[in-house]
């Protein structure tokens, strides 16, 4: 949840190391996923078409932010990017097996 009551919550007293930046980006990714989940829950919880349209648009913007952050993480941590690629290959192999009836 937001900590707006503390005006210093977002301040950093020094520059982040590369490792700290990577951890911060992971936390940002988690925040985007949480926002996507919450906005989607709000869309599902109302029949108000105007609210659904606006909130769904905001949710989709969060998905874009998620993609941007994951891309940044891949640039900052090439070893982690290789693991992402490995996982992607595994899923594609499974999908190919399913497609071929295995």
Report helix, strand and coil shares of the chain as percent, to nearest 5.
Answer: 75, 0, 25
Please write the tens of the pLDDT for every residue from 43-96: 999 999 999 999 999 999 999 999 999 999 999 999 999 999 999 999 999 999
CA distance 23 to 53: 33
pTM, full prediction: 0.80
pLDDT at position 75: 97
Residues in the chain, total: 102
């Amino acid at each position: 949840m937001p900590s707006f009551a503390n005006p210093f919550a977002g301040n950093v007293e020094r520059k982040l190391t590369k490792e700290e930046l990577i951890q911060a980006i992971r936390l940002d990714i988690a925040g985007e996923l949480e926002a996507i989940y919450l906005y989607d829950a709000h869309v599902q919880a109302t029949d108000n078409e105007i609210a659904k349209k606006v909130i769904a648009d905001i949710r989709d913007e969060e998905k874009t932010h998620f993609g941007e952050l994951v891309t940044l993480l891949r640039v900052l941590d090439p070893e982690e990017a290789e693991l992402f690629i490995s996982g992607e290959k595994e899923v594609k192999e499974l999908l190919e097996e399913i497609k071929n009836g295995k």
